[in-house]
């Protein structure tokens, strides 16, 4: 018996030593893994480094048992399948495959392919009659007054279960779409959710049929990303977002959400936002302030649901930065014709997408950021402090103004205008773009419920020093050509050492592009959205092969060191701030901790997949 046991142990040892070598796991995983229900078994999403060769990628797939299924070309993300053996827990198999891919030197990152769900709660069908009288939500948001000024314009992409394009309330306004669930050109609705959502945004009004939407003249781009049971993969949603942005959408409606944040979804969102598309998403129906995705991303306008008394709907997610729109008992278009009624943030979301269409009808030149600002600021207070306020369509339409009609010149005095000057000669000055960065960062902070940062003269000196250094010496990073660090530059500038950190961006031609890039990167975003930050300095310079060099230096407030001689007078508008709060401990893998004099602070750099590391300045442990 004893011999048998020894033999068994020996066999086990031999089996163990025969296992193929597995690359080491990454040192840390910087976010909690989501619950098991939220992923697709046998699929993961992988981003290879841009310098990876086809041969290298093929070797990785072969050694790890993966197979490339398709590629989201614009994002450079591969959908990879792998076999899950019958006796293995599919979730653990997915985590292990993700970890093995992540450990490859030619992989930037890998993640599970998560699932998102439609956010509507269907109610009873109502008779197929013209039902405007039941549409309480339209007078509530002052849509009738807005229709006197415009009935809208522009393309709204509806990423959902598809669309019943034969419904009379969409006649003549449905563009050719795509079905990313079944891989065909017919995004027919096999569930009903998408048709309800599209009608809330854009059903034809005043046509004697069914219901009225908010934007009567918007074109609808149907993109099917949810299946017949109302769920969809992040990979399909990301493909749909990219496709819609590339096919003329000015607005993308996302009445869906998943509990997991994911790189693939975020990169798709940033791609569309970077192309000037407004993304509007349902906040979720979980009655929590915990974000759902894509609603939780900085570049997405999240919409909560309110009721007839402007209170938050019982099911609605909330957040102080979010707008609300009616989402209880909403009459809208039904699959197969006629009218249906439903509740959910899925119904609140398209009212805001329709609002964006009305704003575009009033002023087609509005940027996505301008649309968002008008929608978020032109709200009524509502009756619930858990959200920013309930949208008011009329106020927003008035706020964006009529299109200025050109003043006719008297015929006799008309002279040919000079050749337009190249845009380079009318570039904003560095001070202008530095201010733009501040405004954009503060918009992102407001969306996250955080206090605005104040431009601080000493930090401006530190930030401009780094941007000028990068421009003059043609590099992109945190260590200056003179050996200075973010921390030493803050101290040199005379700011008391309660500094937080520095972000740099290289090669982004506009303030908006630089801020979008920062917000799309978890490390940079964490610095700029740090709850403990009070002050900021922004520096901008041009030069070198990068062309455009941006630096933001943040501090916890407290103003200049009393003994130092400031080289720049702090701005007059600066208001007193509370005593500095301790800097948040950054997450990630500490790669190096240096302790520069005078020893009050430490620089902690986090390894990034490509480019310079993210560095934070923290109080020394
Ligand atoms: Ca189809
Ligand atoms: Ca109608």
533 against 126, higher pLDDT: 533
- Decide if pLDDT at 165 tops 90: yes
Q: What is the pLDDT of residue 593?
A: 26
Average pLDDT on 283-304 reads 96
- Total residue count of the chain as it appears in this document: 621
Q: CB count, 10 Å around CB of 435?
A: 15
CA 353, CA 203: separation in Å to the nearest integer?
12
| Ligand 1: centre distance to CA 96 (Å) | 33
- Decide if pLDDT at 609 tops 80: no
Q: CB count, 10 Å around CB of 515?
A: 28
Considering every ligand atom, which ligand is closest to the CA of 208? 2
Residues in a beta bridge with 257: 117
Considering every ligand atom, which ligand is closest to the CA of 163? 1
| Ligand 2: centre distance to CA 337 (Å) | 11
| Ligand 2: centre distance to CA 154 (Å) | 19
Confidence class of residue 590 from pLDDT cuts 50, 70 and 90? very low
Considering every ligand atom, which ligand is closest to the CA of 169? 2
- Decide if pLDDT at 426 tops 70: no
Average pLDDT on 110-117 reads 91
| Ligand 2: centre distance to CA 584 (Å) | 52
Catalytic residue list? 160, 193, 346
Q: Is the peptide bond before 136 cis (omega within 30 degrees of 0)?
A: no
Q: Which of 106-120, 333-347, 358-372, 494-508 has the lowest mean pLDDT?
A: 494-508
- C-alpha closest to that of 492 among 564, 403, 399, 410: 564
Average pLDDT on 379-388 reads 92
pTM, full prediction: 0.59
- C-alpha closest to that of 153 among 209, 247, 211, 220: 220
- Decide if pLDDT at 596 tops 90: no
* Torsion angle defined by CA atoms of residues 222, 226, 228 and 231, in that order, rounded to the nearest 10 degrees: -160
Average pLDDT on 410-433 reads 41
Considering every ligand atom, which ligand is closest to the CA of 170? 2
| Ligand 2: centre distance to CA 509 (Å) | 45
| Ligand 2: centre distance to CA 210 (Å) | 5
- Decide if pLDDT at 404 tops 60: no
**In the block, residue with structure tokens 């959710």:** 193
**309-364: per-residue pLDDT in tens?**
999 999 999 997 899 999 999 999 999 999 999 999 999 999 999 999 999 999 99
- Decide if pLDDT at 14 tops 90: no
Considering every ligand atom, which ligand is closest to the CA of 194? 1
| Ligand 2: centre distance to CA 339 (Å) | 10
142 against 412, higher pLDDT: 142
| Ligand 1: centre distance to CA 118 (Å) | 18
Highest mean pLDDT among 181-190, 393-402, 527-536: 181-190
539, 460 in Cβ contact below 8 A?
A: yes
| Ligand 1: centre distance to CA 187 (Å) | 5
539, 466 in Cβ contact below 8 A?
A: yes
Confidence class of residue 594 from pLDDT cuts 50, 70 and 90? very low
Q: What is the pLDDT of residue 621?
A: 52
CA 38, CA 408: separation in Å to the nearest integer?
60
Considering every ligand atom, which ligand is closest to the CA of 131? 2
| Ligand 1: centre distance to CA 178 (Å) | 8
Q: What is the pLDDT of residue 120?
A: 65
Q: What is the pLDDT of residue 496?
A: 66
Considering every ligand atom, which ligand is closest to the CA of 209? 2
- Decide if pLDDT at 295 tops 70: yes
Q: What is the pLDDT of residue 503?
A: 79
- Decide if pLDDT at 507 tops 90: no
Residues in a beta bridge with 438: none
Q: What is the pLDDT of residue 529?
A: 86
CA 588, CA 600: separation in Å to the nearest integer?
22
- Decide if pLDDT at 1 tops 80: no
Q: What is the pLDDT of residue 359?
A: 98
Q: What is the pLDDT of residue 417?
A: 34
| Ligand 1: centre distance to CA 303 (Å) | 28
The percentage of residues in the chain with a pLDDT greater than 70, rounded to a whole number, is 75
- C-alpha closest to that of 326 among 129, 133, 143: 143
Q: What is the pLDDT of residue 92?
A: 78
**17-71: per-residue pLDDT in tens?**
333 333 433 333 333 444 455 788 899 999 999 999 999 999 999 999 999 999 9
| Ligand 1: centre distance to CA 37 (Å) | 25
Arithmetic mean of pLDDT over the chain: 79
């Amino acid at each position: 018996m004893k011999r048998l046991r020894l033999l068994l142990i020996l066999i086990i040892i031999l089996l163990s030593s025969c296992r193929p070598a597995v690359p080491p796991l990454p040192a840390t995983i910087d976010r909690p893994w989501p619950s098991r229900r939220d992923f697709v078994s046998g699929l993961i999403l992988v981003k290879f480094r841009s310098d990876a060769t086809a041969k290298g990628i093929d070797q990785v797939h072969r050694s790890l048992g993966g197979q490339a299924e398709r590629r989201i070309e614009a994002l450079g993300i591969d959908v990879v399948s792998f076999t899950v053996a019958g006796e293995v827990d599919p979730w653990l198999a997915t985590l292990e495959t993700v970890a093995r891919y992540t450990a490859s030197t030619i992989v930037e990152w890998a993640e599970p392919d998560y699932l998102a769900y439609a956010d509507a709660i269907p109610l009873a069908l109502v008779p197929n009659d013209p039902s405007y009288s039941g549409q309480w939500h339209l007078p509530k948001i002052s849509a009738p007054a807005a229709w006197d000024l415009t009935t809208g314009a522009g393309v709204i992409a509806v990423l959902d279960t598809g669309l019943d394009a034969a419904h009379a309330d969409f006649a003549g306004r449905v563009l050719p779409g795509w079905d990313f669930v079944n891989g065909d050109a017919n995004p027919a609705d096999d569930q009903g959710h998408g048709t309800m959502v599209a009608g809330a945004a854009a059903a034809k009004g005043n046509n004697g049929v069914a219901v009225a939407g908010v934007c009567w003249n918007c074109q609808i781009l149907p993109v099917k990303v949810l299946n017949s049971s109302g769920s969809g993969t992040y990979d399909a949603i990301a493909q749909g977002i990219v496709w819609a942005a590339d096919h003329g959408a000015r607005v993308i409606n996302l009445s869906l959400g998943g509990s997991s944040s994911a790189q693939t979804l975020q990169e798709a969102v940033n791609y569309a936002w970077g192309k000037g598309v407004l993304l509007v998403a349902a906040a979720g129906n979980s009655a929590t302030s915990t974000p759902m995705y894509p609603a939780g991303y900085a570049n997405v306008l999240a919409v909560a649901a309110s009721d007839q008394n402007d209170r938050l709907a019982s099911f609605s997610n909330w957040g102080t930065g979010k707008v609300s729109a009616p989402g209880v008992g909403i009459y809208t278009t039904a699959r197969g014709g006629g009218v249906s009624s439903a509740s959910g943030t899925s119904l609140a979301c398209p009212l805001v997408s329709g609002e964006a269409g009305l704003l575009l009808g009033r002023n087609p030149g509005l940027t996505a950021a301008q649309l968002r600002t008008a929608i978020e600021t032109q709200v009524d207070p509502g009756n619930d402090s858990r959200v920013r306020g309930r949208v008011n369509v009329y106020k927003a339409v008035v706020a964006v103004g009529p299109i200025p009609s050109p003043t006719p010149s008297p015929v006799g005095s008309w002279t040919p205008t000079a050749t337009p000057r190249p845009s380079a000669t009318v570039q904003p000055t560095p001070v202008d773009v530095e201010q733009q960065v501040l405004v954009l960062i503060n918009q992102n902070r407001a969306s996250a419920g955080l206090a605005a940062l104040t431009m601080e003269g000493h930090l401006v000196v530190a930030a401009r020093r780094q941007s000028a250094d990068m421009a003059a010496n043609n590099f992109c990073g945190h260590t200056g050509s003179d050996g200075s660090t973010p921390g030493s530059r803050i101290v040199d500038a005379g700011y008391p050492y309660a500094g937080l950190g520095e972000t740099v961006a290289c090669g982004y031609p506009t303030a908006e592009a630089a801020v979008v890039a920062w917000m799309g990167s978890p490390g940079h975003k964490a610095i700029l959205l740090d709850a403990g930050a009070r002050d900021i300095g922004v520096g901008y310079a041009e030069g070198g092969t990068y062309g455009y060099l941006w630096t933001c230096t943040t501090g916890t407030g407290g103003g200049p060191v009393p003994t130092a001689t400031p080289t720049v007078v702090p701005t007059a508008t600066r208001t007193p701030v509370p005593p500095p709060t301790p800097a948040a401990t950054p997450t990630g893998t500490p790669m190096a901790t240096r302790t520069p004099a005078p020893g009050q602070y430490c620089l902690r750099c986090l390894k990034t997949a490509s480019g310079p590391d993210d560095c934070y300045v923290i109080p020394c442990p």
